[in-house]
Structure 1
Amino acid sequence: MSSITYSTGFALPAAPRTRLRLTRRGRAVITALVSLPLVIALIMLALNGGGATATSGAEAPTTVTVQAGQSLWSLAGTLAPEANPADVVADMLAVNSLDSASVQPGQVLIVPERYAG
Structure 2
Amino acid sequence: MSFDVGDAAVVVRSRLRLTRRGRAVFTVLAAIPIALLAASLVLGGGGAAADGEGARGTSLAYLTVSDGESLWSIAESLAPNGDPRDLIAEIMRLNGLDDSVVQPGQRLALPAQ
The two structures have a TM-score, normalised by structure 1, of 0.45
Higher relative contact order (CA 8 A, sep 6+): 2
Higher helix share: 2
Bigger Rg, which one: 1
